[in-house]
Amino acid sequence: MKARLPKGYGNGGVNNIQQLARQAQKLQDDMEAASAELEAKEYDASAGGGAVKVTVTGKMELTKVEISPDVVDPEDVEMLSDLVMAAANEALRAAAKEKEDKMESISGGLNIPGMF
């Protein structure tokens, strides 16, 4: 007695694998394009009510720091350092969050190691 394969599993095995490979390649191409687009973007954030403003890129690089002269106090350099760090971290979180959201929307929630 021969075993019967479900409908669609006969002679189309090679075609199914090729279709799966094409879908995986398209997914990878879409993710690479999205990643390049996000890396080109800039993200701004501020701290201390706008006293310190920073800009980072999607590559997670700090590119600009603006400090209001009102907060430059030689007696309290530690506060200024904290404001710069807070603003930079907020901008980096925004960049990381957008990248995560974009990649998740492309992959449909799949977590594929090495893809992003």
What are the residue boundaries of the structural domains of the chain, listed by start? 13-107
Q: Report pLDDT digits (tens) over 39-93.
A: 889 999 998 899 899 998 888 888 888 988 888 888 888 888 888 889 999 999 9
Specify the pLDDT at position 7: 63
Specify the pLDDT at position 12: 57
pLDDT at 116 exceeding the cut of 70? no
* Mean pLDDT across 5-33: 77
CA torsion through residues 63, 114, 96, 43, sign: positive
Architecture of domain 13-107: 2-Layer Sandwich (3.30)
